[in-house]
Structure 1
Amino acid sequence: MREGDGERAVGQYPDGTAEEALAYFERKYTDLAGQVTLLEQRAKRGAPASDIAKAVASLRTSVAGANAVGDLASLAARLDTLGGTVEELTEQQSAEAKAQVEQAVAERTAIVVEAEALAAEDPARTQWKQTTSALDSLFTRWQTHQHDGPRIPKNEANELWKRFRTARSTIEHNRKAFFAELDNQHRDVRARKTALIEQAEALIPRGADGVPEYRQLLDQWKLAGRAGKRNDDALWARFKAAGDAIYSAKAEVDAKDNEEYSANLELKLALLDEAEPLLKATDRESARATLLSIQQRWDEIGRVPRDQVRPIEDRLRKVEAAVRRLDEEHWERNNPEKKARSEGLASQLTEAIAKLQQELDDAKASGDQRKVKEAQEALDARKVWLDALQ
């Protein structure tokens, strides 16, 4: 094959025609050209620069001494061009790799910062279920990032892992300390509530008489605190069962009392029918005497069913208030001091009215309309005051 001004033997092809021999060596050239073309395409797609460089070096050797027929000089020129591309690609990929590493460091740092924020929470206010779940999620993100992300410098990786491990250790320490303290608190509350249960159960034989003390125990129960949901439910079931037994005995007593007191209720309702007409009474003496008689009989009747005490007492209180108002109004009207003041003022008003009447007559006789008007207005005003006083 010609190379520049000379020629180079590329091989022999015995037992074949010239056309067959030429086609054979042309196919070898086509194979080399295809490898160069493929390498060019890989470079365009951003294949690793080191791989491209190795392939270029290998193909240069293959093209330089190729036993092939074709434009080998153009293939060598294309490989030279690829060599320049490799340098550019190396710089580009180095910049991209650096940016990826910086991004990876930033992402891993963000994971560490989130973990440290969880570690800085007040253990007494921490929602441990959510915090533990969040920490597990962060650790999973860390492992995924470490496995799938780009490698970061060892010093930075070690420093970030140290921070993350410290935060996780702090959280775990705080969690264990919190639940240990909580267990102690629950243990104390269980002891207090168990003692209250025993006191409540001791009241059961006393029946209804144990209600006041059980109510005091219930107040103490509310202040005792929490012993954990599972324990609280079981403890409350025992305490409530004791209360149910006590109140059941009380309900039986109340039922008997209500049956006994039902007749008293009927008698007091009849007295109310007798008393309520006094709401419209005007005779103070008669109303007071009637009410006194009703009150005496009311007290003699005795107790009524518990749920009826308030309604009938309220009705009687209204009657008593009405009769009391009759007394108050009477003494208001007959107060000696007030009566004396009223009579003195009435006398003055009467004299003023007589004087103004004379002035009005004189003004009418003189025909002075202005004086007539003034005298009439003054006279009308005094008459209104006198009517109000009387």
Structure 2
Amino acid sequence: MSSDPWGRVDETGTVYVRTADGEQVVGSWQAGSPEEALAYFERKYEGLVVEIGLLEKRVKTTDLSAKDAQTAVDHLREQVDAHHAVGDLDALRARLDKLVALVETRREERKAQRAKQSDEARGAKEALVAEAEELARSDQWRAAGERLRSLVDTWKGLPRLDRKSDDELWHRFSHARSAFSKRRKQHFAQLDAQREEARRTKERLVSEAEALSNSTDWGPTAARYRDLMSEWKAAGRAQREHEDDLWNRFRGAQDVFFAARSSVFAERDAEQTENLKLKEELVTEAEKLVPVTDLKAARAAFRSVNERWEAIGHVPRDARPKVEGRMHAVERALQEAEEAEWRRTNPEARARAEGLTGQLQAAVDKLRSQIEQARSQGNDAKADKLARELEGRQALLDQALKGLHEFGG
């Protein structure tokens, strides 16, 4: 008979293993010595030890599912409970029990993680729906349309929720996009209709202007042309492909009439020459308003100049484009100054400029502190590298401060 701490072989060749519940029969061995029998079943025990160790590692370090892990544990437990190995089987059962507890813990952790991910996805999708519903009421057709397309891409990147919740949120999201598209389509359809109406109106005005171009009834015809111009301005813009052509015909018809009137009233040339001189003086006066330093005063001064300009009358036809162009240049400068003033006083733009300046100032201060610390530690290489980075950040800060100064801050 042969034995070791965990098993023995009796005189009949029966192999036993010792457990907490007493000895259990492992098997019968008739092919060799008792020592060989124990060694064989001890190797089977070592095999179980290795398999359990591998499973423990997989559970701890891989994404092995709880179901597959439990199946593997049950398979190993069957082998341990079959008592076909010699060794500390109770220790193996204890390890398997701990493994079951670990699998259950991992199951709960993954369940909690999935619940958290689901909550985060729900929150993200609800935020997308809220923004889409807000955008659906926007009249910023291009910006809102681009943002809605971006929201769709973001939605596609989020995980699905339970079917009912996901379908409900998607329905709201899709409805918001459809509502925006419908409003945008209606807006541009209405705009197209308005431009088509403007085209028809301007074609009528052009036809009348061309019919009047050969009139010699100078006073009433000139008055009618002024009325036609007022109607033209009130009609709004036609489609881009028609507007310039219609305007060229309309203006051309007026030019034909006024050129003929000018030739008939040649004696008025002297008056028009004097008018040109007066308008040039007014243009010179107006040009002194540029660059604009005091918008309110410049606007009032230009209004005064313009009123006197309108009261002067016609100038020689060949001189008109140049003098009017100079006047229009001053008017454009005033408009640009008004736009700049609006941008300067725009609180949203100012807030963005202040926020950027604050971030850059903090970055510059941090870099300076890091440079001082590096110098004090004798790390000149690091200090030099940080100094080069500081130059770039300082340049950005100077640019941001300059922009903020334009806001009056």
Question: Which TM bucket (shorter chain)?
Answer: 0.5 to 0.7
CA-to-aligned-CA distance 1:77-121 (integer Å, 9 cap, x gap):
211111122233333333322222222221121111112212344
Distance (Å, rounded) in 2 between the aligned partners of 1:101 and 1:309: 79
Residue aligning to 1:247: 255
Among candidates 70, 86, 90, match of residue 107 of structure 2: 90
Residues 1:180 and 2:180 are matched in the alignment:
no
Distance (Å, rounded) in 1 between the aligned partners of 2:211 and 2:34: 123
Paired residues of 1:204 and 1:245 also in contact (CA < 8 A): yes
CA-to-aligned-CA distance 1:168-193 (integer Å, 9 cap, x gap):
33323323333333333222222112
Structure number with larger C-alpha Rg: 1
Output aligned runs, 1:250-265, within 5 Å: 250=258
Residue aligning to 1:60: 77
Which runs of 4 or more aligned residues in structure 1 lie more than 6 Å from their structure 2 counterparts after TM superposition? 11-14, 16-24, 255-258
CA-to-aligned-CA distance 1:238-287 (integer Å, 9 cap, x gap):
322342354267458758977xx6xxxxxxxxxxxxxxxxxxxxxxxxxx
Residues 1:39 and 2:47 are matched in the alignment:
no
Paired residues of 2:237 and 2:243 also in contact (CA < 8 A): no
Among candidates 111, 129, 132, match of residue 142 of structure 2: 129
Output aligned runs, 1:307-326, within 5 Å: 307-308=273-274, 311=277
Change (3 A) 1:238 1:175: closer
Shift in Å at residue 160 of structure 1? Answer: 2.1
Among candidates 157, 167, 179, match of residue 166 of structure 2: 157
CA-to-aligned-CA distance 1:127-176 (integer Å, 9 cap, x gap):
2222222223223333332xxx2x53344333323322332333233233
Change (3 A) 1:10 1:129: farther
Distance (Å, rounded) in 1 between the aligned partners of 2:67 and 2:225: 87
Distance (Å, rounded) in 2 between the aligned partners of 1:13 and 1:217: 124
Q: Structure 1: which amino acid aligns with 2:81?
A: A
Residue aligning to 2:334: none
Among candidates 82, 101, 121, match of residue 104 of structure 1: 121
Paired residues of 2:205 and 2:250 also in contact (CA < 8 A): no
Please identify which structure carries the higher helix content: 1
Distance (Å, rounded) in 2 between the aligned partners of 1:66 and 1:194: 104
Query: What 5-or-longer segments of structure 1 have no aligned partner?
Result: 262-301, 313-390
Query: What 5-or-longer segments of structure 2 have no aligned partner?
Result: 1-5, 8-16, 279-409
Q: Structure 2: which amino acid aligns with 1:195?
A: R
Change (3 A) 1:10 1:142: farther
TM-score by length of 1: 0.54
The share of aligned pairs that are identical, in percent, is 34
Distance (Å, rounded) in 2 between the aligned partners of 1:42 and 1:311: 97
Residues 1:222 and 2:245 are matched in the alignment:
no
Which moved further from structure 2: 81-90 or 204-213? Answer: 204-213
Paired residues of 1:63 and 1:76 also in contact (CA < 8 A): yes
Residues 1:234 and 2:242 are matched in the alignment:
yes
CA-to-aligned-CA distance 1:326-378 (integer Å, 9 cap, x gap):
xxxxxxxxxxxxxxxxxxxxxxxxxxxxxxxxxxxxxxxxxxxxxxxxxxxxx
Q: Structure 2: which amino acid aligns with 1:93?
A: R
Residue aligning to 2:175: 166
Residue aligning to 2:393: none
Output aligned runs, 1:1-390, within 5 Å: 2=7, 3-4=17-18, 6=23, 8-9=25-26, 28-45=44-61, 47=63, 48-65=65-82, 67-68=84-85, 70-121=87-138, 126-145=139-158, 149=159, 151-206=160-215, 213-227=224-238, 231-244=239-252, 246-247=254-255, 250=258, 304=270, 306-308=272-274, 311=277
Distance (Å, rounded) in 1 between the aligned partners of 2:217 and 2:85: 118
- CA root-mean-square deviation: 3.9
Q: Structure 2: which amino acid aligns with 1:139?
A: V
CA-to-aligned-CA distance 1:301-338 (integer Å, 9 cap, x gap):
x96262235759xxxxxxxxxxxxxxxxxxxxxxxxxx
Paired residues of 2:133 and 2:176 also in contact (CA < 8 A): yes
Paired residues of 2:26 and 2:86 also in contact (CA < 8 A): no
Secondary structure of 1:223 counterpart: helix
Change (3 A) 1:257 1:101: same
Distance (Å, rounded) in 2 between the aligned partners of 1:17 and 1:217: 125
Distance (Å, rounded) in 2 between the aligned partners of 1:207 and 1:18: 139
Change (3 A) 1:109 1:63: same
Distance (Å, rounded) in 2 between the aligned partners of 1:223 and 1:308: 32
Change (3 A) 1:35 1:190: farther
Query: Number of aligned pairs?
Result: 258
Shift in Å at residue 17 of structure 1? Answer: 10
Secondary structure of 2:151 counterpart: helix
Distance (Å, rounded) in 2 between the aligned partners of 1:165 and 1:31: 59
CA-to-aligned-CA distance 1:34-67 (integer Å, 9 cap, x gap):
3322322233347443333232222212333375
TM-score by length of 2: 0.52
Distance (Å, rounded) in 2 between the aligned partners of 1:141 and 1:310: 63
